[in-house]
Amino acid sequence: GESVGLHLPTLSVQEGDNSIINCAYSNSASDYFIWYKQESGKGPQFIIDIRSNMDKRQGQRVTVLLNKTVKHLSLQIAATQPGDSAVYFCAENDGADKLIFGTGTRLQVFP
Amino acid sequence: KAGVTQTPRYLIKTRGQQVTLSCSPISGHRSVSWYQQTPGQGLQFLFEYFSETQRNKGNFPGRFSGRQFSNSRSEMNVSTLELGDSALYLCASSLHGTDTQYFGPGTRLTVL
């Protein structure tokens, strides 16, 4: 499939290590945030979400942290696996029911 | 439960033509949103439909239009195609629009 972005920031991690992907959001009125994973040739796949009344949420091997003071979101992936290689997008719901996507980060997992 | 489906998956058109893309949301979902994805601009919101009404619109020219049917299926139309319209067009559905959106695989449009 075609690359979703030719000049994306890239995070390279070794298999088994933890990954942290960061995202700065723009709208202080945004109240809902989502992380998506997009593999080559596929549509974005929902990973985890968090509402603005929380600062942390955990899923299976993933944790999202929200810092509203500095408008920062992070996705932590524990024990990163080759299947985690993809482009990761954060998205904010701006309160007007539109998703605003970040530019994405490419995660590369090497053995 | 079946996911979001989009047809066709691939499309090649020439400049000046028009194109219609189709999206079938997850059963029970009433909100359908459309996005354009390009390497240079990333994911950009086109519009959102809920119960057959356009609720939100992004910053795209009037050549881009859409509609939603009573069964929540949606179509988007692009008229007078330009080379810059070449992109992956993604459809996403959700129950209400304010909750999690689930994406289809996209339609890859190439304009020659």
pLDDT value of residue A26: 83
| Cα dihedral across residues A63, A68, A69, A71: positive or negative | positive
pLDDT value of residue A4: 45
The band of A6, judged by pLDDT with boundaries at 50, 70 and 90, is low
Question: Are the C-beta atoms of residues A36 and A88 closer than 8 Å to each other?
Answer: yes
The answer, yes or no, to whether residue A3 has pLDDT greater than 70, is: no
Q: How far is A58 from chain B (nearest CA, A)?
A: 16
Q: Which residue has the tokens 């890239």?
A: A10
Instruction: Show the DSSP H helices in chain A as ranges.
Output: none
Q: Give the residue numbers in A contacting B (CB under 8 Å), as ranges.
A: 2-7, 32, 34, 36, 41-46, 49, 89, 93, 96-104
What is the mean predicted confidence (pLDDT) over A78-107? Answer: 90
What is the edge-to-edge ordering of all strands in the sheet holding A56-58?
A: A19-24, A72-77, A62-67, A56-58
Span A12-67, pLDDT tens digits: 999 999 999 999 998 888 889 999 999 988 999 999 999 999 999 999 999 999 99
Structure tokens, B72: 């929540």
Q: How far is A110 from chain B (nearest CA, A)?
A: 24
Phi and psi for B81 in degrees, rounded to 5? -55, 140
What is the mean predicted confidence (pLDDT) over B22-50? Answer: 93
pLDDT value of residue B1: 67
Span B48-105, pLDDT tens digits: 999 999 998 999 999 999 999 999 999 999 999 999 999 999 999 999 877 789 999 9
Kindly list the residues from chain B whose CB atom is less than 8 angstroms away from the CB atom of residue A98: 33, 45, 48, 56, 58
Which of B56, B103, B104 faces A96 most closely, judged by CB atoms? B56
A-chain residue closest to B39, CA distance: A5
